[in-house]
């Protein structure tokens, strides 16, 4: 029997660069001299999912009872022996194979023909796509066998981030491809990596160790499935709050086979005595409704419900920073782990706060298709003394940047492309994204300046936006006779209009200046009239 608590299956990298397989309770082994600092799966979605797995495990087995208990384990982490004892009551829920309940798998032994192991991977083409030979970027038939370690994480990743999968194949507890945000604390020693323990513990919510009677309500595979055909909704009232970490929207059973020829896992290259060679599923797993996840930001649907956020095309950058860290109180809320960090930050050393970052990651899904796995890190302030002032500064800078980015895209279209060209078409999306990338460092530099306010930051930020926007326009619409779209009259007119917008004229220009709370320029007509009045008779 393969136990996800008792077997060494997690690929961990230590501070000295050594990679080894460890058991979950060994995440604190060697903290004094050579700590575990990262998880080393060959896939970014597996790495993120493993962090969620370990945070969920700690939140279930040994959560901090209060702020004091959290500080105690930050300063003096539990030993591997302590974690072994804490995890022991939950061992029955973490068996991947065997005759009893199986981790993240249906309570019943589902009938039916098995599918290929690679279709456990979120980006893998579906059966219909393979039949129609319609695969493009992701080729099929690459993964025929998975080691039990790789299969366990593929299964957990699918259940945790499950996209729409056809009739009856439900999305995850947070919907298809949710956005996860985590605190990444800085290192206590300058120049050194932060231990994995601090990364995990920074994101573990407060709570109480559950009673044994609660386990089937935490781990849904310990009891007959609350299928959507019989239970149209499973809300937090019908389950334990910890099921947020262990949601099981898909009814799945893995098929195992002995590996006498010592064949390697097609994903990791690992040789395992037992391999997963297929999996079976049945529709109508658990349909989750009205859940808020400890690791996901949320937005208001305008009807009184808060829904998990999802990554969108174009990646995650500073234009999303405010919503992910402070929210706005009305339509956006940060993940609970981020809000809690601001309360905990006063109890950690200053070097940790100075290096702390926000990790935002998840699948950008188009219904059932994965367009990309998005992963971004941004600075995260530690102890926010004046959240209102910081939010005002960030909101003003990012709103002005948004208007400038739109004006840039519009100006390039006016200079080079037909008027019916979509503003999100690839030729216009490239300078748009370049603008955000080119201004990101400057945004965080102003945000991190001690005592910075919108009044002090706005003039210089306006100059930065104008300089980068005009530079990108000149690169996208050069006055070059050999350019295919060369039309000097159009280019000059579009650039002049962009310059006027950046100077505060027109509807968009006014929005830029209002966002930055800068005084609006004198209207052009009034300026011209004043100029004529000064002319000598």
Find where tokens 């194949």 sit. 169
- The DSSP secondary-structure symbol of 185 reads P
Please report the pLDDT score of residue 136 as a whole number.
Answer: 42
pLDDT attached to residue 330: 81
Query: Over the stretch 189-213, which tens digit does the pLDDT of each residue have?
Result: 877 899 999 999 999 999 999 999 9
- pTM reported for the whole predicted model: 0.93
Res. 479 pLDDT band, cuts 50 70 90: confident
Percent residues over pLDDT 70 in the chain: 93
Nearest C-alpha neighbor of 283 from the set 251, 329, 244, 240 = 251
3-state secondary structure of 25: helix
User: How far is Cα 401 from Cα 444, in angstroms, rounded to an integer?
Assistant: 13
Structural contact between residues 150 and 270, judged by C-beta atoms closer than 8 angstroms: yes
Using alpha carbons, select from 329, 233, 227 the residue that is nearest to residue 284: 227
The answer to whether the beta carbons of residues 185 and 359 sit under 8 Å apart is no
pLDDT band at 130 (very low <50, low <70, confident <90, very high): low
> In 212-347, which ranges are E strands?
251-258, 274-282, 298-300, 306-308, 332-333
Q: Give the burial class of 440: count Cβ atoms within 10 A of its Cβ; 0-12 exposed, 13-18 middle, 19 or more buried.
A: middle
Report the distance separating Cα 57 and Cα 160, nearest Å.
14
β-strand partners of 513: none
Q: What is the DSSP string of 49-104?
A: HHHHHHHHHHHHHS--SSHHHHHHHHHSPPPHHHHHHHHGGGGGGGBSSSSS--TT
Mean pLDDT of the chain: 92
Q: How far is the C-alpha of 150 from the C-alpha of 279, rounded, in Å?
A: 14
Tens of pLDDT along 379-413? Answer: 998 766 678 888 999 999 999 999 999 999 999 99
């Amino acid at each position: 029997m393969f136990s996800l608590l008792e077997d060494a299956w997690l690929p961990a990298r230590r501070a000295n660069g050594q990679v080894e397989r460890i058991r979950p309770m060994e995440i604190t082994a060697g903290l004094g001299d050579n700590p575990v600092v990262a998880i080393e799966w060959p896939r970014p979605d597996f790495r993120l999912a493993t962090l969620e797995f370990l945070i969920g495990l700690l939140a279930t087995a040994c959560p901090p009872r209060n702020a004091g208990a959290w500080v105690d384990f930050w300063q003096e982490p539990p030993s591997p022996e302590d974690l072994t004892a804490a995890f022991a009551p939950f061992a029955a829920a973490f068996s991947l194979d065997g005759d009893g309940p199986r981790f993240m798998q249906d309570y019943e032994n589902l009938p039916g023909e098995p599918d290929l192991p690679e279709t456990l991977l979120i980006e893998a083409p579906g059966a219909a796509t393979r039949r129609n030979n319609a695969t493009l970027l992701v080729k099929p038939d690459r993964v025929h066998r998975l080691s039990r370690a790789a299969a366990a994480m593929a299964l957990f990743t699918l259940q945790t981030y499950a996209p729409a999968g056809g009739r009856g194949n439900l999305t995850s507890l947070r919907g298809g491809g949710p956005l996860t945000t985590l605190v990444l604390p800085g290192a206590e020693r300058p120049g050194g990596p932060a231990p994995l323990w601090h990364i995990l513990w920074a994101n573990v919510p407060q709570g109480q160790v559950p009673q044994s009677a609660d386990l089937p309500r935490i781990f849904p595979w310990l009891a007959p499935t609350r299928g959507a055909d019989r239970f149209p909704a499973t809300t937090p009232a019908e389950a334990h709050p910890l099921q947020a970490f262990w949601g099981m929207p898909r009814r799945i059973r893995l098929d195992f086979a002995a590996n006498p020829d010592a064949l390697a896992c097609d994903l990791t290259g690992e040789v395992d005595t037992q391999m997963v060679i297929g999996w079976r599923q049945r529709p109508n797993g658990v349909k989750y409704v009205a859940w808020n996840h400890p690791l996901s930001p949320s937005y208001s649907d305008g009807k009184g419900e808060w829904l998990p956020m999802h990554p969108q095309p174009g990646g995650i950058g500073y234009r999303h920073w405010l919503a992910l860290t402070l929210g706005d109180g009305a339509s956006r809320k940060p993940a609970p782990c981020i809000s809690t960090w601001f309360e905990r930050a006063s109890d950690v050393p200053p070097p940790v706060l100075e290096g702390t970052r926000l990790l935002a990651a998840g699948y950008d899904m188009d219904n059932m298709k994965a367009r990309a796995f998005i992963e971004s890190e941004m600075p995260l302030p530690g102890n926010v003394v004046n959240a209102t002032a910081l939010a005002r500064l960030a909101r003003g800078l990012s709103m002005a940047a948004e208007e400038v980015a739109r004006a840039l895209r519009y100006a390039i279209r006016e200079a080079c492309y037909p008027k019916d060209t979509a503003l999100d078409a690839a030729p216009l999306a490239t300078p748009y994204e370049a603008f955000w990338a080119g201004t990101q460092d400057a945004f965080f530099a102003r945000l991190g300046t001690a005592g910075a306010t919108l009044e002090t930051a706005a003039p210089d930020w306006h100059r930065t936006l104008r300089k980068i926007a005009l530079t990108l326009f000149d690169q996208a619409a050069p006055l070059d006779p050999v350019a295919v779209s060369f039309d000097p009259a159009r280019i000059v007119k579009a650039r002049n209009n962009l310059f006027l917008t950046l100077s505060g004229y027109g509807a968009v220009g006014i929005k830029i200046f209002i966002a930055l709370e800068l005084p609006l320029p004198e209207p052009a007509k009034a300026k011209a009239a004043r100029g004529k009045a000064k002319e000598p008779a």
